[in-house]
Chains A and B, each alone.
Chain A
C-alpha cells in the first residue's frame, strides 16, 4: 500500500504534492465532507492503492483553509459524531481549475516522453 504523505519519510511518499489537488477535487464532488470522509474517499478512488496519511491530511486542510481555498464548520456526522466539515470556497474552485490544468499539462508532457521514439527526433 502506498502512503501519501508519510511523516516517517519513507521513499513511498512521492505523491505528496498531489494531496492538495486530491483534497480539492474530492470536496468539489462530495462537499461538505469531514476529514475522515476525505481520507476514505481518496483511498476508495485510488482502488485502495493510496492510503492517505492523516499526518499530512489535517495540516493540509488547515493550510488550505488559512489560504482561503476551503471553509469549515463543526457539524454532526452520519453516525452522530462531532466532526469538522469542509467545503470549497470560490477561491478554492478557481485554484482547483488552475491546478487541474497544470496537472494535465504535466501529465501530457511526461506522456510524450514515454511515447516518443528515436525516429521522432530525426
Chain B
C-alpha cells in the first residue's frame, strides 16, 4: 500500500513538475519581496533593500536544482542502505522491486478488464476472437518488458548514489 501511494505521489509530481516549478518561482519572488519590505523598514533605500534581499536569499538556481533533486529518487533511503553496507547491486534490486512489484497489480486489474472489454468488443466486430491467448500473452510480455527497461534507468542511477550526498540532500 505504501509502495503504491509513493508511486502515485511520484507520478503526480512528474505530471505537475512545470506547475510546481512555476509555484516555486512565484514563492521565491514573494519571499524576496517580503525581505525587501523588511529591509526598507530597517531604513535602507528601496534599491539597496532589494539588492540585500536577493543576496540573503542566495542563488535561486541552486534552490530550483535542489527542488528537482527532491522530486527524483528516494535517494536518502537508498543512500542510508548503501552507507550500511548495501552494494550497488542491492540498490538496483531495490528500485526494480519497487517498480516490478506494480506489475502483478496491473495484471490483477488489467486482465479482468481485458476479458470484460473483449466480451463487449466481440459483439461489435465480426470474426474477432476476443480471448486469443497468444495476443493476450504477447501484450503482457511486451508491456512487462518495457516496464522492466523503464525501471532499469532509475535503478542504475540509484546504484551510483553516494551515501554522503544522499544524506546531505535531505
Contacts and interface: CB of A to CB of B under 8 A. Distances in A.
Nearest to B63: A55
Contacts of A83: 27, 30, 34
B48 interface: no
Contacts of B63: 7, 54-55, 58-59
A19 B57 CA distance: 17
Interface in A61-107: 62-63, 66-67, 77, 79, 81-84
B62 A62 contact: no
A8 B58 CA distance: 10
14 contacts: A5-B66, A7-B63, A9-B165, A9-B168, A36-B35, A56-B66, A58-B67, A59-B67, A62-B23, A63-B70, A66-B12, A77-B30, A79-B37, A84-B26
A81 B30 contact: yes
A25 interface: no
A54 B58 contact: yes
A48 to B, nearest CB: 13
Contacts of B156: none
A17 B30 CA distance: 26
A53 to B, nearest CB: 6
Contact of A79 (B20, B34, B168, B170): B34
A59 B31 contact: no
B7 to A, nearest CB: 13
A58 B168 contact: no
B contact residues, range: 20 to 34
Contacts of A55: 58-59, 62-63, 66
Given A62-B20, A81-B37, A7 B70 contact: no
A66 B30 contact: no
Contacts, number: 78
Nearest to A13: B168
A3 B131 CA distance: 63
Contacts of B23: 62, 84
Chain A contact patch, size range: 20 to 34
Given A13-B168, A54-B28, A66-B9, A34 B34 contact: yes
A118 B165 CA distance: 36
Contacts of B13: 66
B57 A54 contact: yes
A16 B31 contact: no
Interface in B21-74: 23-24, 26-28, 30-31, 33-35, 37, 57-59, 62-63, 65-67, 69-70
Contact of A8 (B9, B26, B30, B62): B62
A83 B30 CA distance: 6
